[in-house]
Structure 1
Amino acid sequence: MEQPEILYEDDAIIVVHKASGVAVESGRVSEPDMVSILRAYLRTDYIGTIHRLDQPVEGILVFGRTRQAAAGLSSQLKEGIFNKRYDVISVTDKEDLPEEGRLTDRMDTDRKRNVSYITDPGGPGKEAVLEYRICRKWSPKEGGRLAHIKVDLFTGRRHQIRLQLSHAGMPVLGDRKYGETPAWYRGNICLAASELSFLHPLSGEKMEYRITPGFLKSVR
């Protein structure tokens, strides 16, 4: 069993950097996921899952080590106390793309096909809201146009960032489900949960964590 990348741990919580390609909780015995990895690392039967990331997405996750801590963190998530920021590299040729903006859509999910989609206002699904800010645009030597984008997520819908950015003309580089990826790019999806802040469920102390995604160094 591989060792998790630990950002912080105490008797109540554990904060980790999940690698791309690792599921949070797969349920498959042959496929190690974050929950089984942490159970083995901590030698415990209980790990409280608070929030999730898509399997291809890397980033920061916090888990509860006790039911009390997990309940406190889950309440913060529902109340909007969690602050989550993402780094993205998008593919876009739109010249009139605003440098920053707020995307509000209505989304639903087909769980059998594991795909989400935008619905009409008043239609099925739930509201999905995010804000984005373009940090940099450039043209790689292989061709096309890329943009480094910061995303603040206000709702946690399935595949939300991937779908909303694609719908707005900014598909995530490497996301072959919701957008077309240039033939020259063969790497992982360029989406990472790079910043997370919340209140410690026991002490009330503000906890803040940041990572630098590998794709920001490798995609030039």
Structure 2
Amino acid sequence: MDAEYRAGGLPDPEDESGEFASEVPERRAAEVDAAGHGERLDRWLTGLAPEFSRNHLQALIERGCVTADGKTLLKPALKLRAGQRVEVELQPTDESRAFRAEAMALAVVFEDEHLAVIDKPVGLVVHPAPGNWSGTLMNGLLARHPAAATLPRAGIVHRLDKDTSGLMVVGKTLEAVTALSRQIAAREVHREYLALAWGRAEEAFVVEQALRRDPVSRVKMAIAPANLGKPARTDVFPLGVGEVKVGVQSRPVSAVHCVLHTGRTHQIRVHLTHSGHPLVADTLYGGVPALGLTRQALHAARLSFEHPVTGEALALVAPLPADMAAAWAEIGAGALPEG
């Protein structure tokens, strides 16, 4: 389960223009007393600004935010002298900047006052997290729909990996977010993917294997005994097989249509690898790059569900992005079945 992010609860985030108000960093200063003589700069600053972690204060030092008697100090381990007047510009942490509106172009395939369906591009991170505190889909949603700041996760009810493209639904009201979350938990939101995988997959098959976090590599998921993991099922249907040159040899690559019955992290990637068909260019799970692809060949192509407010049956389709479309054409694969 992902950590819960909530975009609300922040002090008055917008000014009258609808843009996020600028913050003037607080400046805090003090003179080093006899007890602080010879102490490391970063350690001494924890006394001046105890609400910040030592790691964040070290980052501020390295950014040039700390001065002593007007001279910039850049080394956290610098030893202080009694009588120095140290001043620090207390810039906010990266985490505190995560829930900021950032205007970005989003491909919206359906929208009304209750929800929106986005065609997420490759490379767009969904939630703010270490290493990606800005430039995420959440930041874009906050700019597009300011009321998202009052919703859990800014209305995001499910996710795609950074390098997986395709359809995602987001709620625009608390009523819609709650109803969509319940539909997903009840497996009433149907998600279908197109993928290119190594090996010859010429008949339909089902992978029903529980998943858990890999006990060796925390960035991976792994097959688990049923009593230790979360149940997961993927149905896989063939759409074509082609031959691809890898060095001097030819290897088969299969185009497949994957239907999720559960939505576990990395589910298709792990299930196909377990079946001997790692995704093309999914290097995390042993898939060799080919066909010009530099990211896992996985696209969320179809999303269908009942509108949480109106009850209308919605079925949205997103065409393959350019990189996968070119690879798909190269092996002569068939189209996503209708319906």
Same fold, TM-score > 0.5, yes or no: yes
The counterpart of 1:8, out of the listed 107, 110, 121, is 110
Corresponding residue for 2:260? 153
Deviation per CA, 1:127-164: give whole Å up to 9, x if none. 11010001100013553211100000001111110001
Q: CA deviation at 1:184?
A: 6.9
Corresponding residue for 1:196? 303
Number of aligned positions between the proteins: 216
The counterpart of 1:137, out of the listed 231, 241, 244, is 241
Q: 1:102 to 1:109 in 2, by over 3 A?
A: same
Which contiguous aligned blocks of 4+ residues in structure 1 show a shift greater than 6 angstroms?
none
SS of the residue corresponding to residue 145 of structure 1 reads strand
1:99 correspondence with 2:206: no
Q: Higher RCO, 1 or 2 (CA under 8 Å, sep at least 6)?
A: 1
Looking at structure 2, the residues matched to 74 and 151 of structure 1 have their Cα atoms a distance apart, in angstroms, of 22
Which structure features the higher share of helix residues?
2
SS of the residue corresponding to residue 285 of structure 2 reads coil
Contact 2:281 2:290 in 1 (8 A): no
SS of the residue corresponding to residue 194 of structure 1 reads strand
1:173 correspondence with 2:298: no
1:118 correspondence with 2:223: yes
The counterpart of 2:143, out of the listed 24, 40, 60, is 40
1:217 correspondence with 2:320: no
Looking at structure 2, the residues matched to 204 and 149 of structure 1 have their Cα atoms a distance apart, in angstroms, of 31
1:109 correspondence with 2:213: yes
Corresponding residue for 2:185? 78
Which stretches in structure 2 are left out of the alignment for 5+ residues? 1-102, 331-339
Q: 1:193 to 1:158 in 2, by over 3 A?
A: same
Looking at structure 2, the residues matched to 88 and 15 of structure 1 have their Cα atoms a distance apart, in angstroms, of 21
Query: What is the identity, as a one-letter code, of the residue corresponding to 1:23?
Result: V
Contact 1:135 1:147 in 2 (8 A): yes
Looking at structure 2, the residues matched to 15 and 157 of structure 1 have their Cα atoms a distance apart, in angstroms, of 20
Q: 1:90 to 1:71 in 2, by over 3 A?
A: same
Contact 1:87 1:192 in 2 (8 A): yes
Contact 1:3 1:41 in 2 (8 A): no
Looking at structure 1, the residues matched to 129 and 226 of structure 2 have their Cα atoms a distance apart, in angstroms, of 35
Which structure features the higher share of strand residues?
1
Q: CA deviation at 1:83?
A: 0.9
Which stretches in structure 1 are left out of the alignment for 5+ residues? none
Q: CA deviation at 1:192?
A: 0.8
Looking at structure 2, the residues matched to 31 and 110 of structure 1 have their Cα atoms a distance apart, in angstroms, of 27
Q: 1:185 to 1:217 in 2, by over 3 A?
A: closer
1:57 correspondence with 2:186: no
Looking at structure 2, the residues matched to 117 and 82 of structure 1 have their Cα atoms a distance apart, in angstroms, of 24
Calculate the TM-score normalised by the size of structure 1: 0.91
Calculate the TM-score normalised by the size of structure 2: 0.60
Query: Kindly, what percent of the aligned residue pairs are identical?
Result: 26
